[in-house]
Structure 1
Amino acid sequence: MEELVHRLTTLRNRLESGMDRREFLRTVGAGGYAVGVAHFLGVEDFLAADDGEVPIVTALVRDDPDDPSSLQERTRSVPAEWYATVEKAFELNELLARVAFTGYLGSAVVPGDYDSASASVSVGVSSEGKSVPEMIEEFAESVSIDTEGIIRLESMEEGPEFTEPRLIDGLPDELVPSGFACETPSSMATLAPALYHPDANGPLFVTAEHAFKGASNPDGEMLRLPTNGGETLELGTVVRSHPIEDVAVVEPGGEALPSSRIVGPSTARVRGQYTKYGLADLVARGEELEKVGALTGHTTGRIQGIDAVTCFTDDFCRRGQIRWGGEMDLTDGDSGSVSYHPDPDGEDGDVLVAGFNNARTWWPGQSYVWGVSAYRLTERHGYHF
């Protein structure tokens, strides 16, 4: 661990504000680090950036909206000083998760705006835990650490008053949009937009894994779609489940197929997804996320933390999480919905997925929705929206 701290500190000390971009590139390359999602970027991309700026990959976007295999990287140039500070915050967050000191319950990176070129890491500790270790505070340097005490609770508090779930009217074109209720053998959740995988023959249905209550392994369980007309359609069976990410993937088993459309107050079309640095860019610009759940419907909220680690609820920690909105933006039955943001370069109604909503806070002092980021699903399992 001391070697890790030394290696990160050495790189951080060399990432000075105003560094020539050629030297910046050599420094990061020598340290073995990716810049943003840098394996997408070549040397010429870096050298083409204006002085004082570096390019980052903000999103993976379909060149052809109807072809999910046509993903292209979208880049933008950001201030080098902001990038260096946010990168330091990501490194610090990773260090916190690896050390997992006594009382550590999770942490998240909160990028500042571009003018401030700042970033902080919010750390949750249990009431019986210790403070952040001194060696980590020394490593933090320009990145502030905000520590919040969290009381462990055994049960979830009541959510918003129950409302009737949003049921789909029917399937005129056999394509199932997201934002409506779906049924498992034991529960109800929200259907997400179509998910894709290189090894799959086509689009996949997806919802929250925890909706399959009581099943130690939900593989083979049926997912159904109730309709306003009283009919219940069988969508298919679970072919892959990922309990840490809280995702259940369903292969279509009939004529109904997953759609990349989200039906809310208006209909949105998923065109791709944000990267980790794309989310950081949204935070820096003060942008909000949206979601459409089967119970609470359409809501919006600001992003409270990215690249988060969540250890509140299980014997394991969940990484690559996103925190946004407030606890009233999600309730039982909304799990499986996605958070998204309008595609700034797309057609009217095009959106990019930020993350997959799994739960809300139920402990005092914090209020947000949390779930796995889309980029984490891609990095870990190869899926993309």
Structure 2
Amino acid sequence: MSGRHIEGLVQRLATLRDRLETGMDRREFVRTVASGGFAIGMARWLGVDDFLAADDGEVPIVTALVRDDPDDPWTVRERTRYVPAEWYAAVEKAFEVNRRLARFAFTGYLGSAVIPGDYGSGTATVSVGLSSDGHSVGELLGEFAEGIDIDPETIIDVEEIQDGPEAYEPRFADSLADGSVPSGVACETPSSMATLGPTLYHPDSKQRFFVTADHAFGGDRDSTEDALSLPRPDDDAIELGDVVHYHPVEDVAAVEPNGWLEPASRIDAQSRPRVRGQFTKFGLADLVARDRELEKVGAMTGHTTGEIQGVDAVTCFTDEFCRRGQIRWGGEMDLTDGDSGSVSYHPDPEGEDGDVLVAGFNNARTWWPGQSYVWGVGAYRLTEKHGYHF
């Protein structure tokens, strides 16, 4: 078979795969493959074997990136799950509607988020936050959003709202005998206190980083020499390392260890959860469809749980730029000053007892009437933009 024929075959099968992902029945797919002169073996070779293994009316989605060996963070595999094709098509279309809203950046747009329905409904909603001078979302999207519910909500001017004072005692790391520091405990920057996240890995450089919130270092920071420390209740703070990568849009700072302490893929909760990977965007949508909650452990408010209120969200509330790939979950009481840098997570459904998968990074909360949630960047967004994984 010539190269031109192979290229044409790949293109035709890719088109078939696209049709199946948007709701094409499996039997129709198989008939189309056969009538088009394709061998089923060739279809498998080109990457549609997962569809052939699904039941009628289902398609596979990648829900998580996991490592089978917890001591080998560099070998990560995709985990899949079969979901109703109708639901998949609705959620994928809602993601695209949400992306278009963010690209329009029209006057009055403050943010939006996708809210997948349950599997039985086969639906998805896009929630849109608007200021009082916002345009009609329906007019902007026109027929493109047909079949997707749009839920516009007018939000007051958030810039005029200020956080009220709250009193919490920070959670310090208890034992450092093994030379590692878990997530969920207090850490200190030159300007404030934050929460330490679990180990952040970068597969290209094979590096392990401490991680916390970028904004904890303040706006006038030095771009290369800001140190992160571990406060101790009855002793001097221990320096953990210096920031080597700032990511202001995602609000993440990666810190290279420079002493005897190393970051850990553990969370400082009662059960000492072990991080084995992270959820993808569709993995988060799957959690919403199955009505699952997220958890977090912050240095100030400790352990809390809450429902997911939106995925692949865009937030344009407080900065001159919009943050994409966000998660909205829980309520405003689940985060306070000093909790930024913690992660939201959920038990690994296929892991050992105590294994969890990271959903995202907690950066801020609502502080205006009418809405109540924590927001932060999804772990999948960090992977897409910068290559990191948990």
Residue 384 of structure 2 is matched in structure 1 by: 379
Q: Greater CA deviation, 197-206 or 108-117?
A: 197-206
Alpha-carbon RMSD:
2.2
Contact 1:159 1:331 in 2 (8 A): no
What is the identity, as a one-letter code, of the residue corresponding to 1:169?
A: D
User: Secondary structure, in 3 states, of the residue corresponding to 2:228?
Assistant: strand
Q: How far apart are 1:222 and its partner, in Å?
A: 0.3
Q: Is the 8 A contact 1:170 1:227 kept in 2?
A: no
Amino acid of the structure 2 residue aligned with 1:301: G
Q: In the alignment, what sits opposite 1:340? A: 345
Give yes or no for the alignment of 1:114 onto 2:119: yes
Q: Which has the higher helix share?
A: 2
Whether the 8 Å CA contact 2:116–2:125 is kept in 1: the answer is yes
Residue 136 (str. 1) matches residue 138 (str. 2): no
Q: Are 2:199 and 2:208, in contact at CA under 8 Å, matched by a contact in 1? A: yes
- The residue that corresponds to 1:79 in the other structure is 84
Structure 2 partner of 1:162: 167
How much identity, in percent, do the aligned residues show? 73
Q: Classify 1:216/1:222 alpha carbon distance in 2 versus 1 (closer, same or farther; 3 Å).
A: closer
Match of 2:132 in 1: 127
Q: Hey, what's the Cα distance between the residues in 1 that align with 2:276 and 2:19?
A: 38
Matched, 1:268 2:268: no
Inter-CA distance 160–338: structure 2 relative to 1 (3 Å threshold) = farther
Q: How does 1:236-247 map to 2 (within 5 A)?
A: 236-247=241-252
Unaligned runs of 5+ in 2: 1-15, 33-45
Q: Which has the larger radius of gyration?
A: 2
TM-score normalized with structure 1 length: 0.89
Could you tell me how far 1:22 is from its partner in structure 2? Answer: 7.2
Task: Give me the TM-score of the superposition, normalised by structure 2.
Answer: 0.88
Counterpart in the other structure of 1:91: 96
Greater mean deviation of Cα atoms: 41-50 or 234-243: 41-50
Which residue of 151, 155, 166 maps to 1:150? 155
Contact 2:249 2:323 in 1 (8 A): yes
| 1:346-357 alignment, distance < 5 Å | 346-357=351-362
Q: CA deviation at 1:48?
A: 1.5
1:62-118 Cα deviation digits (max 9, x unpaired): 110111012111001000000001011001001111112211111000000000011
1:251–1:155 Cα change, 3 Å = farther
Offset from partner CA, 1:334-372 (integer Å, 9 cap, x none):
000000000011000000000000000112211000000
The whole-number CA distance in structure 2 between the counterparts of 1:77 and 1:15 is 13
Q: What is the alpha-carbon distance in structure 1 between the residues aligned to residue 31 and residue 384 of structure 2?
A: 25
Deviations 1:236-292 (CA, angstroms, capped at 9, x unpaired): 000000000000000001110000000113210000000000000000000000000
Residue type of the alignment partner of 1:141: E
**Is 1:16–1:81's contact at 8 Å kept on the other side of the alignment?**
no
Equivalent-residue separation in structure 2 for 1:335 and 1:361 (angstroms): 13
**Corresponding residue for 1:187?**
192
CA gap 1:26/1:314 in 2 versus in 1, 3 angstroms: farther
State how far apart, in whole Å, the 2-side matches of 1:252 and 1:19 are: 50
Matched, 1:257 2:299: no
Question: Structure 1 58/328 Cα, relative in aligned 2: closer, same or farther at 3 Å?
Answer: same
- State the Cα distance separating 1:155 from its structure 2 match: 5.0
* Mapped contact 1:123–1:147 kept (Cα < 8 A): yes
